[in-house]
Amino acid sequence: MGFKIKRQYRDVGELIKQELVAGKYLPGSRLPPERSIAERFGVGRAIVREAMIMLEVEGYVAVRKGSGIYALTVPAGVQQSKNLIIGPFELLQARQLLESNIAEFAALRVTPGDIKKMRAALDAEKQDIESGSGGEGGDKLFHQTIAEATHNTMLLTLWKQCWENRDENPMWRQLHERITSHTYRREWLNDHQMILAALQKRDAAAAKLAMWGHLENVKQRLMTLSDVDAPEFDGYLFESWPVKIK
């Protein structure tokens, strides 16, 4: 159907929204399954999933775990904002591009003081996990200390803007509300330890690859945890592994 590459999920979401407004799906009726929608529009199920999250955030559908996607009463007189809400997986891809390069540069400029701060952040992350509180302060602090280790104010500012979007993004919050297991956090802690090891060695290539791999793991884990049907990950926007592993 000639969808734009950058925001296919929004294109699909807008077309389904038009059908909802036109009354194709009555309030309370179930929409076709993700697989059928994906086949109809010729896109991957990851894109359909983000389109459904967008429509759920805007109040057009309700996603019921284990049951399906249901049409809601179309909001009366709603004027949709032209400001784009960035999808959670598009956001993760942006983080992959930004933070993997930040890690690479940080490996060239890191100081013993920076490494000490990273270790403290990992200790805080371990405490968050062991307490079972669900807090993510240690996780965020670890990524922040890496950005700070570049000793480049602009890179740190870009990193902060990216995380602010993550924290304030309604689609991101909607995605996380469906996650019932938190065992993945230990996996991500192991990823962080690998990143730290590369930074300690001042190995820029290894630091870049470790950060890219970590955020790829985050993306795939979120896809698995948030999807009832657990479909095979089909990628989104960029190649999953643009770096050739020798």
Which pLDDT score, from 0 to 100, does residue 243 have?
52
Instruction: Tell me what the mean pLDDT of segment 145-163 comes to.
Output: 94
Task: Give, to the nearest 10 degrees, the angle between helix 45-57 and helix 88-109.
Answer: 110
Q: Would you give the distance in Å from CA 61 to the centre of its chain?
A: 21
- Most confident of the following: 18-22, 156-160, 226-230: 156-160
Which pLDDT score, from 0 to 100, does residue 21 have?
85
Residue 4 has pLDDT above 50, yes or no: no
Which pLDDT score, from 0 to 100, does residue 147 have?
97
Residue 183 has pLDDT above 60, yes or no: yes
Q: What domains does the chain contain, in order, with CATH numbers?
A: 8-71 (1.10.10.10), 88-226 (1.20.120.530)
What's this model's pTM, rounded to 2 decimal places?
0.64
The rounded distance, in Å, linking the Cα atoms of 106 and 103 is: 5
CA distances in angstroms from 39 to 1, 92, 134, 189, listed in the order given: 12, 25, 37, 37
List of E strands, the chain = 61-64, 68-71
pLDDT band at 240 (very low <50, low <70, confident <90, very high): low
**Predicted confidence (pLDDT) per residue in 58-72, tens digit:** 888 888 877 888 988
